[in-house]
Structure 1
Amino acid sequence: MPIAKNPILRYRIINACLSNKHKRYWTALELIEKLRSYDYDVKKRTLERDLELMRYDERLGYYAPIAYDNNKKAYYYTDPDFSIQSLLLSPEDLETLGNTSAMLQKFKGLGFVNAFQEIVDKLTRLIEHMRIPQRNDIIAFEDNGYNKGRDHFDDILRLISGCTVASIRYQKFNRQETDEHIFHPYFLKEYCQRWYVLGYSETRRNTITLALDRIISVTDTTLPFLKDKELSPEKYFQHTLGVTIGQGPLEDIHLHFSPVMAPYIKTQYLHGTQHILSEDKTGLTISLQLIVNPELMQELLRYCPHVTILKPTSLKEKYIALLQEGLKNGK
């Protein structure tokens, strides 16, 4: 958008005038001349419309306390301390967020950004949308409403940041009983809009993953924190789809997708280890280096009937068994 056409910049110039502590009152001619000094050749009607929008427009949300003094023939803020710059997400805030987002985008490919790349991309799109206040409600971000795991997110993040051991009461979905974990949390991971925390459980004497939406309670302890300097999200989940660490060996998996599904698989990889082996009129063949786990099986079922498992045979047998079980349940 050319600078002379951007109304947000006009609002900022008007605001700078009316919030000036040394000159509170501004005539229409003075405001127009100030705008023209910034290459805004506006008419009085445009100025009056800008002032009206700054006062009442819900999309802008300024609700600027602009009044007109009949004696001075000038506009002023009834609240001398008011400024749109002090409001939440002012244009300058958006500019700062935009610069931060652009900086993060430059680091694509680095591990610490990859973990949050989807969030960074969403933030970038949201900032661009918010920079166009006259076009409202044209972007709908995915929102599944309430997610129980969010209730514990801040607590878990605080524990990780403070290297604090917690006592966590935990209940699996398929059990009535609860488990008590003396837990040393290391890092958080999101998968399918659910959050998980990886850490060392003194109860299990092993590194495990807990789903935040299955946590009943979190209580701080004063126990010494056990650090694992060798553990990192990139290494731990390097050959895992989702969050469940499988018990089997690392497999060289070959999958063939139909021509209908091929474009989707090419433009959004199933996993970071995905490699395209071949593509022709019959479809797309890819390879994955993964340990077989429940999330992988769920993903393969999701692509039925457009996926064929070429290898390993053991994975193909598990897949067929699940399909047969599903047919039984459907009868």
Structure 2
Amino acid sequence: MSAFGGGRTATVRMMNIFDSVKNGSFPNCRKLAEEFEVRPKTIQRDITYMRDQMGIELHYNQQLHGYELVGELEDFPLIDLQVEDLAALFLARSAMGGIQGTKLAESLQPAFERLSQQLEGKVSLRWNDLDEAFAIKKNAVVEADLTLFGKLAEAVLKQNEVSFKYRGIKALVSTHRRIQPYHVGEISGGWYVIGYDLDRDGLRTFALQRMTGVKVLKTWFERPDDFSIGEHLGGGIGVWSGKADGAESIEVVIELTGWAARLVQERLWHPSQKITILDDLGEKIQMTMGLDNLTEVTQVVLSWGSNAKVLAPEALVQSVCKELEGVQKLYE
């Protein structure tokens, strides 16, 4: 039996019981049993567990013949998740693609959303949008990553340091790393952990697929109150973000034409982006962004092909030219 106090189905049921009581419908055991297709005694056991083990003040209103919530508890209490529980939830996220649009998916959605909200800022599983998360992103991580994800998620929640070997994207060999993990989640279709690298004295981003020998250490750390995953990622155009202390943002200016101009206008590439339309049809535009680094913007510009021209900074112009020269040599 897991730390949920019962099976995982019981946990989802208790979350939904909490929601039913909180919305003021005054459900009783018989009504709840009919809704979840279980015996009234099962519901009574759930309510007893919620009262005695989780501290949820559920009171039976004799006049209205149903349960009501006493006190100011807004959310279902965060459960003490174990590694296997986190991995199981992650697996469930990947496995639900085949049931979207069904009553089962509709009944599970509130529970997943509530759990996702309570883990916000520490573990992101993108359960708030079932259609997008379960259908489009379900193949983002291979099965072999489930145990690793569970370990890292537990380390983030319990604030334990982590050691592992890591091979950088351009490195030939792996190096030993030790970090204080702040966040683990899905970013731009990949899975990453972001944390403070103790050896390199700064925030770093690590791809789960390139981490080996992961060990969750007993050393505890305090996660900074001012750390925000949104602000951290806001400095770049992708997952690789961050800038040196005191450094100013880099103004990136790109001129786009044709299909690329239309594509760029259809989505937000960066919070700071500004679009200037240069013709009457919107077939020629200028996009300006303030980025902390140029790590991934080169690849984005190249993906627009001959419909994109970098106007600034010069460092980005040189980076794009260097990549194009390398590509050209491949076909000589």
Q: TM-score, normalised by structure 2?
A: 0.57
- 1:321, distance to aligned residue in structure 2 (A): 2.4
1:323 Cα offset (Å):
1.4
1:255 Cα deviation (Å)?
A: 1.6
**Equivalent position of 1:310 in the other structure:** 311
Residue 152 (structure 1) aligns with: 148
Is 1:148–1:213's contact at 8 Å kept on the other side of the alignment? no
Unaligned runs of 5+ in 1: 1-15, 22-87, 128-138
Aligned match of 1:285: 286
Deviation of 1:213 (Å): 0.7
Aligned length: 230
* 2:128 aligned partner: 120
Q: Secondary structure of 1:268's partner?
A: coil
Partner of 1:42: none
Q: Flag the 1:168–1:320 CA change in 2: closer, same or farther, 3 A.
A: same
Is structure 2 residue 216 aligned with structure 1 residue 205? no
Bigger Rg, structure 1 or 2:
1
Query: Could you tell me whether the CA contact under 8 Å between 2:275 and 2:288 is conserved in 1?
Result: yes
What secondary structure is seen at the aligned counterpart in 2 of 1:199? strand
1:176 deviates by 4.7
- Are the counterparts in 1 of residues 249 and 290 from structure 2 also a CA contact under 8 Å? yes
Q: 1:98 to 1:201 in 2, by over 3 A?
A: closer
Q: State the alpha-carbon separation in 1 of the partners of residues 231 and 137 from structure 2.
A: 31
Correspondences of 1:5-44 after superposition (within 5 Å): none
User: CA contact under 8 A between 2:125 and 2:186: conserved in structure 1?
Assistant: no
Structure 2 unmatched ranges of 5 or more: 1-33, 40-98
The answer to whether the 8 Å contact 2:277/2:285 transfers is yes
TM superposition score normalised by structure 1 = 0.58
Cα 1:174–1:276, aligned 2, differ >3 Å: closer, same or farther?
closer
Amino acid at match of 2:167: Q
Q: Secondary structure at the match of 1:222?
A: strand
User: Distance in 1 between the 2:308 and 2:318 partners?
Assistant: 14
Amino acid at match of 2:238: G
Identity %: 17
Would you say 1:196 and 2:207 are equivalent positions? Answer: no
Counterpart of 1:273 in structure 2 is 272
Q: What letter matches 1:327 in structure 2? A: Q
Q: Could you tell me whether the CA contact under 8 Å between 2:193 and 2:206 is conserved in 1?
A: yes
In structure 2, distance between residues paired with 1:311 and 1:170: 34
The answer as to whether partners of 1:167 and 1:183 remain within 8 angstroms in 2 is yes
The answer to whether the aligner puts 1:241 opposite 2:252 as a matched pair is no
- Provide the C-alpha distance between the structure 2 equivalents of 1:256 and 1:101, rounded to a whole number of angstroms: 42
Change (3 A) 1:166 1:176: same
Residue by residue over 1:204-262, the C-alpha shift from the partner in whole angstroms, topping out at 9 and shown as x without a partner, is 23222111111112112221314222221122122212222356741222222212222
Partner of 1:83 in structure 2?
A: none
* Cα distance between partner residues in 2 of 1:170 and 1:124: 33
Measured at CA, do residues 183 and 194 of structure 1 come closer, stay the same or move farther in structure 2, by a change above 3 Å?
same
User: Whole-Å Cα distance in 1 between the matches of residues 248 and 106 of structure 2?
Assistant: 49
d(CA) in 2 for partners of 1:235 and 1:145?
A: 25
Root mean square deviation, CA, Å: 3.8
| Cα distance, 1:177 vs structure 2 | 3.4
- The Cα of 1:167 is off from its aligned counterpart by 2.0
Offset at residue 269 of structure 1 (A): 2.2
Q: Identify which of 195, 211, 217 aligns with 1:221.
A: 217
Alignment partner, residue 96 of structure 1: 107
Query: Could you say which residue in structure 2 is the equivalent of 1:183?
Result: 179
Say whether the 8 Å CA contact 1:170–1:215 is kept in structure 2.
yes
Separation of aligned partners in 2, 1:102 and 1:203: 37
**Within 2, Cα distance between the matches of 1:225 and 1:143?**
33
Q: Residues of 2 paired with 1:90 and 1:237: CA distance?
A: 32
Letter of the 2:195 partner, please give it: G
- Superposed counterparts of 1:133-148, under 5 Å: 143=139, 146=142
Q: Cα offset for 1:310?
A: 2.2
C-alpha separation in 2, matches of 1:250 and 1:229: 24
Tell me if 1:261 matches 2:269. Answer: no
